[in-house]
Structure 1
Amino acid sequence: MLKETAVEVIDLTKSFRGKIALKQVSFTVESGEMVALVGASGSGKSTLLRHLNGLERGESGVVNVLGFPLQSEGKFHSKIRQLRSNIGCIFQQFNLVKRLTVLENVLVGNLGQISLARSAIRYFTKAEKIQALSALERVGILEQAYKRASMLSGGQQQRVAIARCLVQGARIILADEPIASLDPESARKVMELLGELNQENGITVITSLHQVQMVQRYFPRAVALKNGEILFDGATVDLDQNQLNKLYGTAAKELVLSGHGELV
Structure 2
Amino acid sequence: MSGHFQLILPGTVVAIGRNPDMSWFQVTEERLRYRGRITRAPYDAWTGMPAGEEAIAEAAKQIGFRLFGRARAARQTMWRQLKDMAASPAGVVALDAAADVYARTLSDLAYAQGLPRAQVGLRRLVLVPRALAAGRARSALASRLQQAPQIDELNEALRAFLFERVVIELDAAARHARPTVKRPIRAGDWTCIGVDTEFGWVDQVWSGAGWSGHFFVYEWPPAPMTRADRKAVAKAVTDLESGINTLSRERRQQLVNAAVRA
For the pair shown, which has the larger CA radius of gyration, 1 or 2?
2
How high is the TM-score relative to the length of structure 2? 0.28
How high is the TM-score relative to the length of structure 1? 0.28
Q: Which has the higher strand share?
A: 1
